[in-house]
Chain A
């Protein structure tokens, strides 16, 4: 088959099984758009801002497990995409981002809409490529998908100069189904000796706890994790990125850990003697002050990326490998050993944990007239039967969603944890909805965050995406305000939002349904009404308690056992 560079791109994406391409056109990618238009194989979703194209591809990837793909033009198209790329990078999400570039002959001459895309993206991609010859194009694209989706996943940028896509230069094309690279060989299989050593520690543990993260989701290892944890009968906690990988409704689950994690999860971490870290990277939101982190624990760490191991916290038994592979090996060993865990000690350990649980650290007063954000999320869970895909923006609302929507399935909770990108929620929800056309998708957001990519309401109309937007409107950049209340003596510098739009009218002007709710008693009915509108995007503006704070909280610099609980938690 003789194809031009642009036709190769269109054909390759089809051969690679790409379902959607999220993008925005411009000069440097016009040839590509023309080829896509004529081929009409891969569905192109026209967003309203390149950042949203990348977030949408990201939401698609997180919720489906497949690689998300975006296409943007050179210069401003590429720079607009950077926030999206960095967001995916910090959460290890597989993306391929195709960026147009000025023609090879003028690269480096400050040509119109030229930026050094490879240079700008380098620190926030897993890898990037500049295609210098159309003969390399197909192979480079294959490498990009291979690198993005294997090992520790991540975004890969392919920068394509305009002359490479010239419709008049045709070359032979064949699809290469697989590829190998001498400089890139991720380790999948865990070292058997290390796994044995880990099992020995596990079987001797008296106060064990599983600390699980995004790596379990990325590895599709929920099933093996659940089997192992239930066989052992150990408590388990998850990071913000790991929510759903183990069912929140199961009794062995202690809730999320970390800065806004539960009392029982953080206390169990503090007192554990054997910590089993699975696909989690000891982020500072988890460890708190490093000196106080798991002071008595021997630590086992399973991670596919050797550089995640002993980066922040020195571990005792490192196991480099894919979570699912390692957990499966552990299960095999466990079968041979039959369960000789220290049953008595584990029973006592659970007794202690149950004492911590009794604090009921997530309780709040439900009887107020003004709407509590926690209440909205609890009702959201009820009305959607816990089955919705929930995307989130960044702030207090994100924490409330994480704490109160009890996720039972992996890939159901879609949020930006590492970069914490406000503006992620709505475009990510678009990708989620496209990946799961017949499923319920809600975006939990705040009046600050939603305005960072509000223009995507137009995209939602164009493609009929019936997302339900749950706007927890506290008229504050709440997370910032909370820190100012706690650490800056209540000086609310720039955390108050003036001139907030009328979201009901705004939603309507974009052709959607808008609702506003300002009383607790109306919350449930409003949600029911909104979710009954199966084909409509509904924007529900919940006017919530202004100065609500997220609890529990471990202040910066404090140890994980020095949590602060809600001041009124004893009263309710």
Chain B
């Protein structure tokens, strides 16, 4: 099953490579990983998306917790936790002739924004769940897409509970 794990870690140069190294050393898979400093500059917040059986996910969270740089973590896909997830995508597509209107309409339907325009291309910004981004990408012919950049998933628990040091 897919799990989103939120991690609060020391904002130290080696911290990211410890997490990444753990996943490769123990052959766990990483679907996506995003990280940036928090409002407290000594801490970074990471969201990691992984897949595995219950046993593997249990080992992953235990092994992550064991890293000395990890201050706290929260598996957003365990029973009883409700969460929100978002991913951002920048996508550059060919846009010429009648296609230009069609792409604008599609962007509106997906509540995206066109953020850069040239005579024959659009760059669109889109935020949502990974599924929604996949659906948007799927709406284009392959050769229409010039490039895509995705942020990886960010996640947060619903309600008052918060992950802090």
Interface residues of A (CB under 8 A from B): 118-119, 122-123, 126-128, 130, 147, 181-184, 305-307, 309-311, 314
Contacts and interface: CB of A to CB of B under 8 A. Distances in A.
Contact of B71 (A118, A182, A306, A309): A182
12 contacts: A122-B17, A123-B25, A127-B68, A130-B13, A181-B68, A183-B68, A183-B70, A183-B71, A306-B66, A307-B62, A309-B62, A310-B55
Given A183-B10, A307-B63, A119 B68 contact: no
B163 to A, nearest CB: 13
Contacts, number: 38
Contacts of A307: 59, 62-63, 65-66
Interface in B43-68: 55, 58-59, 62-63, 65-66, 68
A321 to B, nearest CB: 15
Nearest to A124: B25
A183 B70 CA distance: 6
B21 A123 contact: yes
Interface in B1-21: 9-10, 13-14, 17-18, 21
A128 to B, nearest CB: 7
Contact of B66 (A119, A130, A305, A314): A305
Nearest to A186: B66
A184 B65 CA distance: 9
Contacts of A310: 55, 58
Nearest to A181: B68
Contacts of B10: 183
B165 A182 contact: yes
B85 interface: no
B69 interface: yes
Contacts of B62: 306-307, 309
A119 B9 CA distance: 18
Interface footprint category on B = 20 to 34
B73 to A, nearest CB: 11
B66 A183 contact: no
B28 to A, nearest CB: 13
> Top 7 nearest A-B pairs by Cβ distance?
A307-B62, A127-B68, A183-B71, A306-B62, A123-B25, A184-B68, A307-B63
Contact of A314 (B9, B55, B65): B55
Contacts of A118: 14
A118 B10 CA distance: 16
B68 A147 contact: yes
B97 to A, nearest CB: 50
A311 B10 CA distance: 26
B65 A306 contact: yes
Contacts of A123: 21, 25
A523 to B, nearest CB: 46
Nearest to B62: A307
B59 A311 contact: yes
Interface in B91-134: none
A309 B66 CA distance: 13
Given A182-B71, A310-B58, 12 more contacts: A122-B17, A122-B18, A122-B21, A123-B21, A127-B68, A128-B14, A130-B13, A130-B14, A147-B68, A183-B70, A184-B68, A307-B66
Contacts of B25: 123
A126 B165 CA distance: 21
A231 to B, nearest CB: 32
B38 to A, nearest CB: 14
B10 to A, nearest CB: 6
A122 B69 CA distance: 12
A314 B54 CA distance: 12
B9 A183 contact: yes
A130 B14 CA distance: 9
Nearest to A308: B62
A434 B21 CA distance: 37
B58 to A, nearest CB: 7
A311 to B, nearest CB: 6
